[in-house]
Amino acid sequence: MVRDVHCIIGASGQLGTELALGLKRAGEQLVLMDIKQPVYPELLDLPFEMIDVCERGGLADRLGAHRVTHVYHLAAALSARGEQDPQWAWNLNMKGLLNVLDIAHAMPGIRQVFWPSSIAVFGPGSGPIAAQSGHRLPATVYGISKNVGEHWCAWYHQNRNVDVRSVRYPGLVGSLAPPGGGTTDYAVEVFDHIGEGLPYRCFLEAGEVLPMMHMGDAVEAALGLMAAPRSALRCAEAYNIQAMSFSPEELFLEIRRHAPDFAFECIPDFRQDIAAGWPDGLEDSMARADWGWAPKVDLPALVASMMEARLSRLPLNA
């Protein structure tokens, strides 16, 4: 029996770092790919390829050379950054995905692909709690690319027999790597400002509720979906998954339980408009029924874990 070889494209990013660690600790054989070197010490002994997902030839060559069986394609421009450079974001998000899907079709050794979609596929009109098949009218370049990407995944599954699986991630909060260019990034970067003596300046309104998730649950979602039998999966696009919903104010008040002097102010910028178009939460009964999705971390546990991690590491942006 040939051993599975897992490859993470975008392995140095926020989710990639923690997924790589999860797979490594599970004893899986792993190859990391990114345009920047991993920095997390426990990942430095793993095979690494400096690869741009938009360069199809080099990507196919390296995936073949490592005999990769499972691809996690995480490289993407996020919502806030994407609004500032739409052509770049569209090119990276669409070309990268189509390269991966096309290579997976051409290389039978690649048995499964994981590609994250996002709550950004929803937009004004999706309602406060977005249904699995809810109205999708994304209002950002990132959201449009994720929405179209979901359709491409379904097309490659139905017409090219590529076993590609996806979830709609909310804002992700973890301590090992900084986020880059998202609308939900405040919920991670705030932890680097605690104890600074100045109020943390949040770029969203205090009451803007968004769906959020601890990184541990995000990694479990990817691994759980990839482990499910294909026959159990009714959704060919991306599964809604929900863990918790909170506003900046609710997060900051929870932080204050650990750091009573923590102060904040909310001065919304253009990211508030993006957030205002997203739902407060997602209806995720299909993910729970089909592959046993069950998040473990709630808001108090998320804050406790981030506060504990602060004590044992450098600032995320160091």
d(CA 226, CA 221): 8
CB 56 within 8 A of CB 103: yes
By CB under 6 A, what part of segment 5-64 binds ligand AKB? none
**Phi, psi (degrees; rounded to nearest 5) at 234:** -85, -20
d(CA 226, CA 178): 25
In the shown chain, the binding pattern of residues 134 to 153 toward ligand AKB, with x for contact by CB under 6 A and - for none, equals --------x-----------
3-state secondary structure (DSSP) of residue 5: strand
3-state secondary structure (DSSP) of residue 282: strand
d(CA 116, CA 240): 11
Q: Based on CB atoms, which residue is closest to ligand AKB, 38 or 179?
A: 179
Q: How is 147-169 classified by DSSP, letter by letter?
A: HHHHHHHHHHHHHH---EE-EEE
- Please tell me the count of residues contacting ligand AKB according to CB under 6 A: 12
Interface region with ligand AKB, contact rule CB under 6 A, candidates 104-112, 152-160, 178-186, 232-240:
178-186
User: C-alpha distances in angstroms, 294 versus 126, 141, 212?
Assistant: 23, 30, 14
Chain residue at closest Cβ approach to ligand AKB: 182
Please, what is the minimum distance in Å from the beta carbon of residue 7 to ligand AKB?
22
Q: Is 142 a catalytic residue?
A: yes
**Phi, psi (degrees; rounded to nearest 5) at 257:** -65, -25
Q: Which of 40, 72, 142, 169 is catalytic?
A: 142
Give the angle 236-239-243 at the CA atoms, nearest 5°. Answer: 170
Among 182, 248, 277, 279, binds ligand AKB (CB under 6 A): 182
Q: What are residue 73's DSSP bridge partners? A: 9
Please, what is the minimum distance in Å from the beta carbon of residue 132 to ligand AKB?
17
By CB under 6 A, what part of segment 101-120 binds ligand AKB? 118-120
Q: Based on CB atoms, which residue is closest to ligand AKB, 123 or 170?
A: 170
If binding is defined by CB under 6 A, does position 79 make contact with ligand AKB? yes
Q: Based on CB atoms, which residue is closest to ligand AKB, 38 or 116?
A: 116
Interface region with ligand AKB, contact rule CB under 6 A, candidates 101-109, 181-189, 238-246, 257-265:
181-189
Residue 222 CB-half CA count within 13 A: 29
Among 96, 171, 216, 248, binds ligand AKB (CB under 6 A): 171
Q: Based on CB atoms, which residue is closest to ligand AKB, 49 or 220?
A: 220
Q: Based on CB atoms, which residue is closest to ligand AKB, 19 or 120?
A: 120
Q: State the CB neighbour count (10 A cutoff) for residue 122.
A: 27
Q: Based on CB atoms, which residue is closest to ligand AKB, 203 or 264?
A: 203
| CA-wise closest residue to 241 among 175, 289, 299, 189 | 289
Among 69, 166, 184, 247, binds ligand AKB (CB under 6 A): 184
Among 78, 89, 92, 104, binds ligand AKB (CB under 6 A): 78
d(CA 147, CA 89): 14
Please, what is the minimum distance in Å from the beta carbon of residue 143 to ligand AKB?
8
Structure tokens at 74: 């995480």
Site residues, ligand AKB (CB under 6 A): 78-79, 118-120, 142, 169-171, 182-184
Tell me the catalytic residues: 142
